[in-house]
Structure formats: structure tokens, C-alpha cells
Amino acid sequence: MSEELLTIKDLLVGHAGRPILPPVTLTVCAGEAWAIVGPNGAGKSTLLRTLLGLQPGIAGTMRRAPCTIGYVPQRHDLDPTVPGRVIDLVRTGAEQRWSFISPLFPFQARARVERAMRDTRVLELAREDWRHLSEGQKQRVLMAQALAGEPRLLVLDEPTSAMDMAAEGVLFALLDELRLQRGLGVLVISHHLALLGKHATHLLFLDKDEGVVRAGPLAEVAQDPAFVQRYGLLMHQPAGGHHA
């Protein structure tokens, strides 16, 4: 049985003590790729902030395995001027994970930074200025930053929002490769249902307006009447054909 990295049971999320969704229950295991989908304003960001510990849940339980969570934010959340070089940005990921007190920290951090950059294919960009990179390169650098902390659970917020279709496909394929090589659990918010249908193993569907939460294997949730009513058969379209 795969290692359970994140288990939430009857979790209520919301603001000022008022829930915006029905209770959420799911378990993310190593090797699984969970897609979080729903219309704009469905509650995805609120749930994500709660899972990351940035705001408290209202009720229910959440248990994380003793492992690091790597977070890949949307690119517009990052100050475009600090730090300037790719290597400096990726190094901050290792600094968040390893204690400076350890005399081995410089060696541990260097090895993890190099591995993260190699795995995301940005090692040759180490001395480049972040501002001069393409959108696809920027996303891979942010993934390297998250991976430098050696997480077991990787969380990505709209990772392909500024990319063309070809770059989107390349990034999701890379994410699959990283998940399988490193034994990661992955949570990704995205509106690209065709790509998610090809790369996700599990699906969490949220709709605040309809009071709907569905979680489970992708094939099951994609056939749920509430999901089909909202999206039809988009999950089964060829990659690159539709956006939600």
C-alpha cells in the first residue's frame, strides 16, 4: 500500500467561521496526481490555503505525513526582481528545508539544488536572469525551487496559465516524470481538463454555488452527474482541444 502523505476528513473551509463548501474528505498517497477543478470562485484557492496551513480550517481533521510540502505558486505572485538569477531563486527552496545549524548544510543544499535543477532541465539556466526566461522556463525554475527542499507532496497552482498548448503538454509530461521518479504525491489546480484527463490519477471537483464536493479516482469523478452537468465530456477530449 502506498504511503499516505495527506489525509483530510470532513474538512470545512471558509472565512470568519463560515464554511463555503460541504465537508471535504480525501487521502493523497505517494505516486498519485490529484487535480483540483471547479469553476472560478468554486473555493479552490480557499481549500489550497487551508491545506498549506496558511489559514485554519473551520472543522474536521487534516493529517500530513512527516514530510515537506513543496509549493509552486502562480508566477504573478513572485516579485520579478528578487532574486535576479535562477540559481539564487532555486537555492531559497533548499534553505527553507535544511537547518543552517548543521555543518553539512552547504553540501546537502548544493546537492539537492543541483538535482532539482537537473530533474527540471534548468541546470543550464543557472546564471540566467529570471526576468529574461520564457514562461515555460520560469515554471520549471519554480518547480526546481520547490523540489530543492526534497518534498514528498508537491502542490501547484495553475502551473500552465501563461503557456501555449505545446508548452502545457511538455510541463505536464515533466510533472508525470518527476512524480514517478521521486515517488511524489501531486496536487494541482488547473482549468485544462483535457490535459488533466491524460495525466491525473484522481480528481477533486468543487462547486461552491451548487454545494458540491466530489473526490476520488479520476474515472469515477469524471462520470459523476454533478461533474458531467458542469463540464460534459471535456475530460475525455484530446489534449489541447479545450479549456474549461
Strands (E) across the chain are located at 4-12, 14-15, 18-19, 24-29, 33-37, 59-64, 69-72, 153-157, 185-189, 202-207, 212-217
Question: Which positions of the chain have pLDDT values less than 50?
Answer: 98, 100, 237-244
Please report, for the chain, the start and end positions of each structural domain, with discontinuous segments joined by +.
1-67+152-244, 82-150
CATH code of the region 1-67+152-244 = 3.40.50.300
State residue 237's pLDDT score: 47
pLDDT in tens, 29-54: 999 999 999 988 889 989 999 999 89
36, 204 Cβ separation under 8 angstroms? yes
State residue 102's pLDDT score: 56
**Rounded Cα gap, residues 92 and 113, in angstroms:** 9
pLDDT in tens, 122-159: 999 999 998 888 888 999 999 999 999 999 999 999 88
Nearest-10 crossing angle of helices 135-147, 165-182: 20
State residue 62's pLDDT score: 93
